[in-house]
Amino acid sequence: MSVSSLAGSVGLVIGVANKRSIAWAIARGAGARQARLVLTYQNDRLAENVRELAGQLTEPVVLPCDVTDDDQIDALFAAIDERFGRLDFLVHGAAYADQDSLKRPYVETTREGFLKALDISAYSLVALARRAAPLMEKAGGGSIVTLSYLGSQRVFPNYNVMGVAKAALECSVRYLASELGPSNIRVNAVSAGPIKTLAASGIAGFSSILQTYRDRAPLRRTVDTDEVADAALFLLGPEGRAVTGEVLLVDGGYHIMGL
Angstrom distance (rounded) from CA 60 to CA 28: 11
More confident residue, 44 or 110: 110
For position 1, what pLDDT does the model report? 39
Answer yes or no: is pLDDT of 2 > 70: no
| Buried/exposed 201-217: b ≥16 CB within 10 Å, e otherwise | ebbeebeebbeebeeeb
More confident residue, 232 or 2: 232
Mean pLDDT of 147-168: 96
Our separate counts of H helices and E strands in the chain read 9, 7
Convert the pLDDT of each residue in 15-48 to its tens digit: 999 999 999 999 999 999 999 999 999 998 889 9
Convert the pLDDT of each residue in 74-87 to its tens digit: 999 999 999 999 99
Mean pLDDT of 7-18: 96
User: Mean pLDDT, the chain, as a whole number?
Assistant: 95
Angstrom distance (rounded) from CA 250 to CA 149: 9
pLDDT-derived band at 201 (thresholds 50, 70, 90) equals: low
Answer yes or no: is pLDDT of 61 > 90: yes
For position 198, what pLDDT does the model report? 64
Percent of the chain whose pLDDT exceeds 90: 90
Q: Beta partners for 64?
A: 41
Please state the φ and ψ torsions of residue 171, each to the nearest 5 degrees: -65, -40
Active-site residue set: 149, 159
Task: Kindly list the structural domains of the chain, giving each domain's residue range(s) and its CATH number in brackets, ordered by start.
Answer: 10-194+224-250 (3.40.50.720)
Answer yes or no: is pLDDT of 248 > 90: yes
For position 139, what pLDDT does the model report? 97
Convert the pLDDT of each residue in 165-179 to its tens digit: 999 999 999 999 999
Burial class (CB in 10 A: 0-12, 13-18, 19+), 147: buried
Answer yes or no: is pLDDT of 154 > 70: yes
